[in-house]
């Protein structure tokens, strides 16, 4: 990103299911704090691991890791077709 970041540290990841096209704050998942550095370029990335129901986060200047929860909503795959 061209613009310097406005962040004071990376801390939260929200996992939102949008199979139905909607998103709800009640679907939020929080991670432990990943890092405490200012994200000078304010960028990050995330990926979902369908093999282990996990998510990977990478916050520039802070860290990267793997997180999981047994209740991750993979069951919703059939929602749109019901």
Binders in 23-82 for another protein, by CB under 8 A: 23-37, 39-52, 54-69, 71-79, 82
**At its nearest, how many Å lie between another protein and the CB of residue 9?**
7
Residue 49, token pair as written in the block: 């691991």
CB 40 within 8 A of CB 3: no
> How many residues bind to another protein according to rule CB under 8 A?
74
Provide the token pair at 73.
């909503």
Q: How far is the CB of 34 from another protein (least distance, A)?
A: 6
Q: How many Å separate Cα 7 from the centre of its chain?
A: 16
Q: Which two tokens stand for residue 79?
A: 């929602």
| Shortest Å distance, C-beta 43 to another protein | 5
């Amino acid at each position: 990103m061209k613009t310097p970041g406005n962040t004071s540290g990376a801390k939260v990841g929200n996992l939102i299911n949008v199979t139905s096209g909607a998103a709800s704050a009640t679907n939020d998942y929080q991670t432990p704090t990943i890092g405490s550095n200012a994200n000078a370029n304010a960028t990050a990335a995330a990926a979902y691991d369908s093999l282990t129901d996990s998510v990977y986060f990478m916050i520039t200047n802070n860290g990267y890791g793997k997180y999981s929860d047994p209740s991750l909503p993979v069951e919703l795959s059939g929602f749109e077709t019901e």
